[in-house]
């Protein structure tokens, strides 16, 4: 094995294919990612988005969780306050809808352009 050749800084840089987040964008998105750091909220958002039309009745969201209904309501309130879901009362039930624009933004931040992972 011969001597190692030093690698210059220019040799190790991978070109950007998308514009990374700037400080303001990161500041605006951080609360959403922080909220989704809770497994219950992440599951709730996934469950809502998985329903037809991205909408679910609160009555459909309590099964499968080992927490009380008030705890589920608290987590839904957090998701609503940061804009990941919206809610609408219909009679005695509240329906939650995944906010597509917020989901699209989160998805864009997390996506890798096609053909980049070579």
Residue 67 has pLDDT above 80, yes or no: yes
Cα 4 to Cα 1, 11, 12, 13, distances in angstroms? 9, 15, 15, 19
Q: For residue 13, name the pLDDT band (cuts at 50, 70, 90).
A: confident
Say what the pLDDT of residue 5 is.
Answer: 56
3-state secondary structure of 97: strand
Say what the pLDDT of residue 83 is.
Answer: 95
Can you tell me the distance from the alpha carbon of 74 to that of 61, in angstroms, rounded to the nearest whole number?
A: 13
Tens of pLDDT along 94-116? 999 999 988 888 888 877 776 65
Burial class, 96, CB count within 10 angstroms (exposed 0-12 / middle 13-18 / buried 19+): buried
Query: Is the separation of the CB atoms in 55 and 87 below 8 Å?
Result: no
| Beta strands at 55-57 and 85-90: parallel, antiparallel or unpaired | unpaired
**Number of Cα atoms under 13 Å in the Cβ half of residue 111:** 11
Domain boundaries, the chain: 35-103
Give Rg (Cα) of the chain.
21
35-103 placed in CATH 3.30.56.10: no
């Amino acid at each position: 094995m011969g001597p190692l050749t030093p690698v210059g800084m220019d040799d190790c840089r991978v070109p950007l294919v998308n514009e990374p987040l700037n400080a303001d964008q990161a500041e605006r998105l951080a609360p959403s990612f922080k909220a989704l750091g809770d497994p219950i909220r992440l599951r709730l958002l996934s469950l809502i988005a998985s329903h037809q039309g991205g909408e679910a009745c609160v009555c459909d969201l309590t099964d499968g969780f080992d927490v009380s209904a008030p705890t589920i309501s608290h987590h839904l309130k957090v998701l609503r306050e940061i804009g990941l879901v919206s809610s609408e009362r219909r009679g005695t039930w509240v329906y939650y809808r995944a906010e597509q624009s917020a989901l699209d933004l989160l998805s864009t931040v997390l996506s890798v352009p096609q053909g980049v992972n070579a």
